[in-house]
Structure 1
Amino acid sequence: MHQQLLKMPQTAAVPGHVAVLAFPFSTHAAPLLAIIHRLATSSPNTHFSFFSTQQSNNSIFSVYKQNTNIKACDVWDGVPEGHVFSGKPQEQIELFMKSAPNSFRKAMEVAVSETGRKVSCLVSDAFFWFAGEMAEEKGVAWLPFWTAGPASLSAHVYTDLIRETFGVGGQEDELLSLIPGMSKIRTRDLPEGVLFGNLESCFSNMLHKMGRALPQAAAVFINSFEELDPSITKDLKSRFEKFLNIGPFNMISPAPPAADTHGCITWLDKQKPASVAYLSFGSVATPPPHELVALAEALETSGVPFLWSMKDNSKVHLPDGFPERTASQGLLVAWTPQFEVLAHRAVGVFITHCGWNSLLESIAGGVPLICRPFFGDQRLNGRMVEDAWRIGLLVEDGVFRKHGVLNCLDKVLSQDSGEKLRENIRALKQLAKKSIAPDGSSFNNFVALSDLVFNTKS
């Protein structure tokens, strides 16, 4: 599939120079580089300058060394010499964002000077609301990339209306019926910084400014497919110049199979179809100790076979003797090849924090979810999973308790309701596959994105 996308002809009259501004934290820069790699392969005469911090570039570029027309350009991380971190949350992000506009401007000047090519198009992480002003100064198109789903994007675009309607810090259980496609979402599901939390934090301000700036972009593109959220997609198409769902990336060009160092797939091969509970909470979130205990107790009591991806430093919180007692029931490992695990026929449910990438991987595998969200877009994703798409369950009160986990496992793995969830998520998987096939919605949207990138006149 992706080979057909990569062979699209270059149509720019003059070899272009695309500047790409990446957000160097969490899982933002890597998916943006994956898109740039696809674009660069289809247009060898276009030069791509990929701007991020040295640490970020070093960690993501090793995969794409064969691309001679993408250059990693390091920008300052914003940390002053001799700075002592206070341990305040998001301190690194605050320092980076404070210096980012100036750092990116300087780095772009250097790239223009070195290549002898003016910037012909500006692609950025959507977080960088100021990139729109930079593109305007240069007289080029601004194409921001939103790494999460359309519902969370809509929440940030409608922040002012949401605040006017519900009042900051107001009722937590109001439904967002006033926003197309969000009638199942409650105000308490919204990401921090919209109605609740510190509305003056660096992150809240960044997202608020972003929501206001995005309608000025030539196009906003995201890692999703139109058929997943047709109402939200239709609405955002009316709000933006162009709104392009070009995913799911994990189905378009999956990463090469990861080394299965802990024998997960071999262990899964010995299990019955749709019988295993797979547990993983991403790279950032970890359930608090008392919830890990509740989860472990529920798994042991249920007798359900489990594969649990758990960092070594969390294992100390497990009940005494749990690994030994469950050695024949489950596999406890520090890391799993998640995409391959979720594609395995033995996996019957995914217990997850419900981050966007994990959600898309679950759809690709056709595996229902049990969601325990922590922050950001995760609560909103979990609500969509349970109430809009009906492909999984939210844990009761958003917290792992033994009885609640047992109840969820029973519903998904043993009752008829679980089969219905499986049917629903398999139907979404088929829609996703159709969207990335030739003439599918994501295929056509990628062609439209390519046209904007390559046809922009500098």
Structure 2
Amino acid sequence: MERDKRAVVKGSHVLVLPMPAQGHINPMLQFSKRLAAKGIKVTLVTTSSYLNAMQGEQALAMPINVEPIFDGFREGERVAGVDDYLERFKATVPGSLAEVIKKHSSTQNPPRCLIYDSLLPWAVDVAQDSGIHAATFFTQPCAVSVIYYHELQGSLKFPLMEPVVKLPSLPDMEFNDLPTFVYGPGSYPGLYDLVFSRFSNIDKATWVLWNTFDDLEDELVKWMKRKWPIKTIGPTIPSMFLDQRLEDDKDYGLSLFKPKSEACMEWLDSKSPHSVVYVSFGSVARLEEAQMAELAWGLKRSNYSFLWVVRETELEKLPRSFIEETSDSSLIVTWCNQMQVLAHRSIGCFVTHCGWNSTIEALGLGVPMVAMPQWTDQPTNAKFVADVWGVGVRVKVDGNGTIVTNEEIERCLREVMVEGERGIEIRQNSGKWKELARKAVDGGGSSEKNIEDFVGELMSNSYSIKE
């Protein structure tokens, strides 16, 4: 086994600033580990309130420093809502970030670049004002960003006059395949503004990094490279589940929830290969109580064993007596180590909301999916899962367009789990993408080459700070 680990190179320090949410920190942290393995000193900058909220002891597999930063909220202070948090975050963090850069600039290995979450476009100005490079990091697939870009350019007009949306480099799409934010902010105007602000000053960034890989979005990547200096560097999942070049990289390392790892593994070990349905809707998505009930009864009707992650705040939405009625064939936990679960031989399919991290993890581990998208980028990810990559099926909502019935959930589970023509095709496609994902980050792969190029360019004196 090759171990890609080099001594830290002086003058190679980078700061990494993710949006303080688990789905954004994890991919940027994984990229940081790849950089650390190549001799780059990495300091992960995240909010003190996020660090305080993490469960138990947290250990990073690679030598990455963590720098707390003040986000405007004192310990124990309650947040009125998402928009309130975002407003105070934007008012406070730029100044805090400038102070962090200044502090590290006086060390023997001062920062050379700030890698910032694309949802924080103001960070490029802080970096440039501090005299260092900036690289923006997109945690969503190219497909979603291309749609947002065309929306900004006025290519999408609502209400749609045609049933099919045709955009360059994208497959034909229907209304329910589009990211939810393209047709309005809904209840989250602050998030809506964040999503579209990413392109406001993208040209100021020296590098544009993307958590995807060339084979996965080939036409989209080629189209976007004509506009920006993008580098695909994904999939950003722990190395031991892909190329195994970073021996200590077995987990993300930071989490807001405490996983029930031992209980999950013991239960899965008792099951036959490809016999278990794994169900998880990530760290944010919330199903309505009626939808939780339909999902629950659909799982029970299918007669498959299932492992269902139901966050503690969502447990009360489960139907009364459901846990007891299904205890012989199910395990319900409040959180788990998703990578360990997806990699287990007993898993037959993954019922997912199609958040990008969950989607690319399933792709990287070759697990077929039942796509049940909720909002933001998830409908587009589900479209690609079912119709482009062919690694799963997508549930259909009922005639009122409001709920997925238990009969539909059962139908989809059987289509993926049964060894029929469709199920076999999905499993074969899943295996193909698993291998392509591994090749992308392995030696000589497209993402590995892009990371090497980024490191080389970072250390070159020929790159000047963009104005």
TM (normalized to structure 2)? 0.85
Q: Is the 8 A contact 2:30 2:236 kept in 1?
A: no
* Equivalent residue number for residue 23 of structure 1: 19
* Equivalent residue number for residue 288 of structure 2: 288
Matches within 5 A, 1:90-109: 90-109=83-102
Q: Which of 149, 168, 171 matches 1:179?
A: 168
Stretches of structure 2 lacking an aligned partner (at least 5 in a row): 253-257
Secondary structure of the residue aligned to 1:249 is: coil
Secondary structure of the residue aligned to 1:277 is: strand
Letter in 1 for 2:114: L
The answer to which of 131-140 and 207-216 deviates more is 131-140
Deviations, residues 373-418 of structure 1 (Å, cap 9, x unaligned): 1222111111111111111111112733111111111211223211
Give the 3 Å change call, closer, same or farther, for CA 309–2 of structure 1 in structure 2: farther
Q: Tell me the distance in 2 between the aligned counterparts of 1:378 and 1:28.
A: 15
2:243 is the counterpart of 1:255: no
* Equivalent residue number for residue 201 of structure 2: 213
Q: Is the 8 A contact 1:177 1:184 kept in 2?
A: yes
Q: Is the 8 A contact 1:156 1:211 kept in 2?
A: no
Give the 3 Å change call, closer, same or farther, for CA 71–268 of structure 1 in structure 2: closer
* Equivalent residue number for residue 417 of structure 1: 422
* Equivalent residue number for residue 368 of structure 1: 368
Letter in 1 for 2:103: V
* Equivalent residue number for residue 334 of structure 1: 334
Q: Tell me the distance in 2 between the aligned counterparts of 1:349 and 1:65.
A: 29
* Equivalent residue number for residue 255 of structure 2: none
Letter in 2 for 1:213: N
Q: Tell me the distance in 2 between the aligned counterparts of 1:436 and 1:345.
A: 23
Q: Tell me the distance in 1 between the aligned counterparts of 2:61 and 2:305.
A: 41
Q: CA deviation at 1:197?
A: 2.4
Q: CA deviation at 1:198?
A: 4.7
* Equivalent residue number for residue 400 of structure 1: 404
Secondary structure of the residue aligned to 2:407 is: helix
Q: Is the 8 A contact 2:260 2:333 kept in 1?
A: no
Q: Tell me the distance in 1 between the aligned counterparts of 2:8 and 2:429.
A: 38
Q: Tell me the distance in 2 between the aligned counterparts of 1:129 and 1:264.
A: 39
Q: CA deviation at 1:422?
A: 0.8
Q: Is the 8 A contact 2:61 2:250 kept in 1?
A: no
Give the 3 Å change call, closer, same or farther, for CA 423–173 of structure 1 in structure 2: farther
Q: Is the 8 A contact 2:364 2:434 kept in 1?
A: yes
* Equivalent residue number for residue 50 of structure 1: 44
Q: CA deviation at 1:174?
A: 4.6
Q: Tell me the distance in 2 between the aligned counterparts of 1:356 and 1:244.
A: 15
Give the 3 Å change call, closer, same or farther, for CA 119–324 of structure 1 in structure 2: closer
The answer to which of 20-29 and 420-429 deviates more is 20-29
Q: CA deviation at 1:429?
A: 0.6
Give the 3 Å change call, closer, same or farther, for CA 81–426 of structure 1 in structure 2: closer
Deviations, residues 138-163 of structure 1 (Å, cap 9, x unaligned): 554321111222212223333322xx
> Higher helix fraction: Structure 1 or Structure 2?
1
Q: Is the 8 A contact 2:27 2:357 kept in 1?
A: no
Q: CA deviation at 1:299?
A: 1.9
Give the 3 Å change call, closer, same or farther, for CA 388–125 of structure 1 in structure 2: same
Q: Tell me the distance in 2 between the aligned counterparts of 1:119 and 1:278.
A: 42
Stretches of structure 1 lacking an aligned partner (at least 5 in a row): none
Give the 3 Å change call, closer, same or farther, for CA 128–318 of structure 1 in structure 2: closer
Matches within 5 A, 1:10-409: 10=9, 15-43=11-39, 47-57=41-51, 59=54, 62-64=58-60, 67=63, 70-79=64-73, 85-86=79-80, 88-113=81-106, 115=107, 119-161=111-153, 164-167=154-157, 169-171=158-160, 174-180=163-169, 182-198=170-186, 201-250=189-238, 251-252=242-243, 254-256=249-251, 261=261, 263-397=263-397, 399-409=403-413
2:453 is the counterpart of 1:448: yes
Secondary structure of the residue aligned to 1:274 is: coil
Q: Tell me the distance in 2 between the aligned counterparts of 1:266 and 1:373.
A: 30
Secondary structure of the residue aligned to 2:21 is: coil
Q: Tell me the distance in 1 between the aligned counterparts of 2:251 and 2:74.
A: 38
Q: CA deviation at 1:261?
A: 4.5
Deviations, residues 194-242 of structure 1 (Å, cap 9, x unaligned): 3322599222222222123224322211222111110111111111123
Give the 3 Å change call, closer, same or farther, for CA 82–370 of structure 1 in structure 2: closer
Give the 3 Å change call, closer, same or farther, for CA 174–95 of structure 1 in structure 2: farther
Q: CA deviation at 1:173?
A: 7.0
Q: Percent identity?
A: 27
Q: CA deviation at 1:347?
A: 1.4
Q: Tell me the distance in 2 between the aligned counterparts of 1:32 and 1:227.
A: 21
2:6 is the counterpart of 1:7: yes
Give the 3 Å change call, closer, same or farther, for CA 8–119 of structure 1 in structure 2: closer
Q: Tell me the distance in 2 between the aligned counterparts of 1:369 and 1:189.
A: 17
Q: Is the 8 A contact 1:223 1:246 kept in 2?
A: yes
Give the 3 Å change call, closer, same or farther, for CA 207–318 of structure 1 in structure 2: closer
Letter in 2 for 1:441: S
Q: CA deviation at 1:321?
A: 2.6
Q: What is the number of equivalent residue pairs in this alignment?
A: 444
The answer to which of 228-237 and 258-267 deviates more is 258-267
Q: Tell me the distance in 2 between the aligned counterparts of 1:361 and 1:260.
A: 19
Deviations, residues 334-369 of structure 1 (Å, cap 9, x unaligned): 222321221122211111111111112212332111
Q: Tell me the distance in 1 between the aligned counterparts of 2:162 and 2:290.
A: 26
Q: Tell me the distance in 2 between the aligned counterparts of 1:307 and 1:81.
A: 35
Q: Tell me the distance in 2 between the aligned counterparts of 1:54 and 1:439.
A: 38
Letter in 2 for 1:28: H
The answer to which of 400-409 and 117-126 deviates more is 117-126
Secondary structure of the residue aligned to 1:212 is: coil
* Equivalent residue number for residue 444 of structure 2: 439
Q: Tell me the distance in 2 between the aligned counterparts of 1:211 and 1:57.
A: 29
Q: Tell me the distance in 2 between the aligned counterparts of 1:335 and 1:85.
A: 24
